[in-house]
Amino acid sequence: MVMVVEPLPDELGKAHAGRIAYLNALPGLGKLLHRTLGPAKEHLKRNEFRQQFHYLATRLAIEPERYLAQHSMLPFLYAYSGRKNTGQMYMPLIRKWLKQADSPILQYVRSCPHCIQEQEANMGLSWWIRKHQLPGVDVCLEHKVPLIQVENQDALLRTPGFFLANSLFSTKSAPAWDHPTVSRYHEFASWLLSQPSRLHPEKLERCIKTQCGGLDIAMDIKKHVQHSSLSLYVRSAFPVDWLTTHYPVLIGENYQGREVGIDAAFRGQGATGQVIAMILASLFESPTHLLSKIEESPVHLPRLSSRRLPSIARAQLRSQEAFVQVYIQANGQANRIAALLNCQNEVIYRRLTQYGLPAMRRSKSQHRAQILKRLKDATPVELQEWGKAMQAHWQQYGKGNFQLNLSIYASLLGVI
Ligand SMILES: [Zn+2]
């Protein structure tokens, strides 16, 4: 059996594995993986159980979730769980979303000469820590000196002190590291890395929105406003040198005032940790400032139950006829109905099913115009009949895709 040792403070998980491989006289991380988890063919590709951390955490009786929070880069890389809310925990990222615990940043590893000396003085050895691996952070946050970088495939099997002592490293430039925005970026990046769970999307978004409103930053990416956007604001907050190295697209020739990574950061799947840290560093003084703003913003209770809704909205939800009016007004889009009635999308989806109405997409759907036009002139009896027929269809064939639902509904209405 492989001898396993405890991880050191803030030790990078892969480096912890590397240290264990070295102590067991194994020639590499691959060999350790093979020895502890068996040959690769027995596992699904990128399955969580093929990742080393799981075995090590289990052997050491550390909760895998805690191991990931304290020894992987996930808390930084996937700090924001996105509008599709992929949850606040780290384990499901691996299990469900097939994220690698560490590899995206491991083309090289970095360390700080002063930290190495301190580690050696205190513990008798040096080790690779996570804080030195943060993208966009080029100096040691404690000692404010440029990090040393090792590009050696066996780097993780040895201590950073070994590479320092043998001059087997390069020192990268640290552009504008003492610029105020860059310093704030450092603070936010290490704050994100230290989070025991991922940021809640609603709280974060509301806070960003309020802050952007106060600073007159246009956040609506659908409107063609070129002189104001979040990315323009971020670009003006960061020094050119730093952007050239870490986010060149903002100063590239093709940049026209919109950049999808930043301007659509709070849509769909959400942004990378680096983008989140860049936005936060541009808008807020410090993590403490951000947290105070989060607390200040109005508490928004989840409105899963229609009982908590204002009476008008409640009435519009309760009557099929009234609901259809809102449906027409919102072009059949669930999220727009939800916005009009000030309730959550889920409530709307339940009503759509209940009334036998197909949800429509934002993009131009076939038959939409005809359906909406016919609904306008419909009698309550017709609405009920169509709704029942649609439900009967769903019951028999399942919900299927939205385009198909629309054509079936259109034929029920007799418009095609
Ligand atoms: Zn240091």
71 vs 196: CA distance, rounded Å: 11
Q: How far is the CA of 64 from the centre of ligand 1 (A)?
A: 28
CA dihedral 157, 161, 165, 168 (to 10 degrees): 50
DSSP H helical ranges for 24-73: 29-37, 52-59, 64-71
Mean pLDDT check: name the lowest of 3-7, 293-297, 332-336.
293-297
The angle formed by the CA atoms of residues 77, 79 and 82, to the nearest 5 degrees, is 110
For residues 194 and 75, is the Cβ–Cβ distance under 8 A?
yes
**Ligand 1 center from residue 142 Cα (angstroms):** 5
Of the ranges 157-171, 212-226, 345-359, which one carries the lowest mean pLDDT score? 212-226
> Which residues are within 8 A (CB) of 113 and not within 5 positions of it... i.e. 6 or more apart?
145, 148, 164
Give residue 357's pLDDT band: very low, low, confident or very high (50, 70, 90). very high
Residue 323 Cα to ligand 1 middle (Å): 61
Who contacts 378 (Cβ-Cβ below 8 Å, separation ≥6)? 324, 386, 413
The mean pLDDT value for 326-338 works out to: 87
Non-local (6+) Cβ contacts of 226 within 8 A are 256, 257, 258
CB 3 within 8 A of CB 23: yes
Least confident of 179-183, 216-220, 256-260: 216-220
Average pLDDT over residues 111-116: 98
Rg (CA), the chain: 27
d(CA 132, CA 216): 35
| Position 6 pLDDT exceeds 50 | yes
Confidence of residue 310 (pLDDT cuts 50, 70, 90): low
Secondary structure element (H or E) that encloses residue 402, with its range: helix 402-413
Residue 144 Cα to ligand 1 middle (Å): 7
Bridge partner residues of 299 (DSSP): none
In the reported structure, the alpha carbon of residue 124 is separated from the centroid of ligand 1 by a whole-number distance in angstroms of: 16
Mean pLDDT of the chain: 87
Boundaries of every domain in the chain: 106-174, 180-296, 311-413
Instruction: Return the number of other C-beta atoms located less than 10 Å from residue 304's C-beta.
Output: 12
